[in-house]
Amino acid sequence: MRKQLQELLEQRVLQCVSMPRNQLHECAGIELKKQSFANRSAEIVKAKADGRIKQRFEDNENASVLYDVHFQYLIKQRGLFYMEEEVEKRRAEFYKGILVNDEKLNENEPTEKIEEALPVFSHEVDGQERKGFRYDRLKAVQYAERWWNDYNPAYKKFEVDCTNYISQCLHVGGAPMRGYPNRSNGWWMQNNNWSFSWSVANALRWHIPGSKFGLRGREVSSAEKLKLGDVICYDFQGDGRFDHTTIVTGHDADGMPLVNAHTYNSRMRYWAYEDSTAYTPNIKYKFLMITDDRDE
């Protein structure tokens, strides 16, 4: 099994920088990513992939393997070179020891049921919790880079971890927690408990522009206006409920954001997520610029 998966990875790495020799082994996801790069006058000039088996299930002559693949892509966009990385979650099916199917697991993230009970806007509290806030964008980005494919043991880890990861980045950047112990109030993680806005994408999407002090921000009209350390929220289905959150960690040659994210871990990924299995034509974005005491 390992040998067959290794050969498959080698074919996919080759496909990143050339046309697939065998259409049977063509990966549609890689072709979609290459097309996304081509639309930006960019290309993959070098690629590397490392696989790691997570789980294995066997039933008589059938076997199923869940594994992760860490892809690294060296991107050239005119005069700019940068490294994009992502971790794919995949499933391989075997029959009598022969690989018969291999697929990427869908990036659509499950939504916490508790989210349905969330208030639309975050509540404010009295002046006792008003703490000064100067956002250190560099520290937030450094943290995002350090932990993009790992989990800081100082914080709780979630199965759907995207917003928890972004909240950690914002907190390390200087955003003060407030609102404890009311889960519907403020933005906080404390004593093995947390606010909805800390861990749920749709709640953070409303908290940042609705907050008047502490962690706060304003919506801007387009992605190119975002700075390092700003936040993008994604409504993949376009139904008004936001499913995913990323943080800006770089910009490409056109000045467009590159982002880091958790759950389906990635770094320096193009902000639009057009190569994602969760992408739909109905996708909507919210571009949130973090503001602090210096902006008042």
Looking at residue 120, its pLDDT comes to 40
Check whether residue 93 and residue 122 sit in a common domain.
no
Stretch 226-240: mean pLDDT, rounded? 98
Check whether residue 266 and residue 178 sit in a common domain.
yes
Check whether residue 92 and residue 133 sit in a common domain.
no
Check whether residue 70 and residue 153 sit in a common domain.
no
| Residue 293 token pair | 């005491």
- For residue range 91-111, what is the model confidence (pLDDT) as tens digits? 999 999 999 999 999 886 555
CATH number of the domain within which 246 lies: 3.90.1720
**Structure confidence at residue 18 as a pLDDT band (50, 70, 90):** confident
Check whether residue 80 and residue 148 sit in a common domain.
no
- For residue range 130-146, what is the model confidence (pLDDT) as tens digits? 668 999 999 999 999 99
Check whether residue 25 and residue 124 sit in a common domain.
no
Which three-class secondary structure string do you get for 165-212?
HHHHHHHHCCCCCECCCCCCECECEECCEECHHHHCHHHHHHHHHHCC
Q: Which of 65, 80, 104 is the last residue of a domain?
A: 104
- For residue range 63-72, what is the model confidence (pLDDT) as tens digits? 999 999 999 9
CB 131 within 8 A of CB 178: yes
Q: Which of 104, 122, 139 is the last residue of a domain?
A: 104
- Say how many domains are in the chain: 2
Share of residues in the chain with pLDDT > 70 (%): 89
Check whether residue 69 and residue 119 sit in a common domain.
no
Structural domain of residue 6, as residue ranges?
2-104
Check whether residue 279 and residue 253 sit in a common domain.
yes
CATH number of the domain within which 38 lies: 3.10.450
Check whether residue 118 and residue 170 sit in a common domain.
yes
Looking at residue 29, its pLDDT comes to 85
pTM of the full structure: 0.91
Check whether residue 51 and residue 167 sit in a common domain.
no
Q: Using alpha carbons only, give the angle 187, 136, 164 rounded to the nearest 5 degrees.
A: 35
Check whether residue 259 and residue 288 sit in a common domain.
yes
- Sequence-distant (6+) residues with CB within 8 A of 278 are 106, 107, 108, 109, 234, 236, 243, 244
What gap in Å lies between CA 92 and CA 238, rounded to an integer? Answer: 31
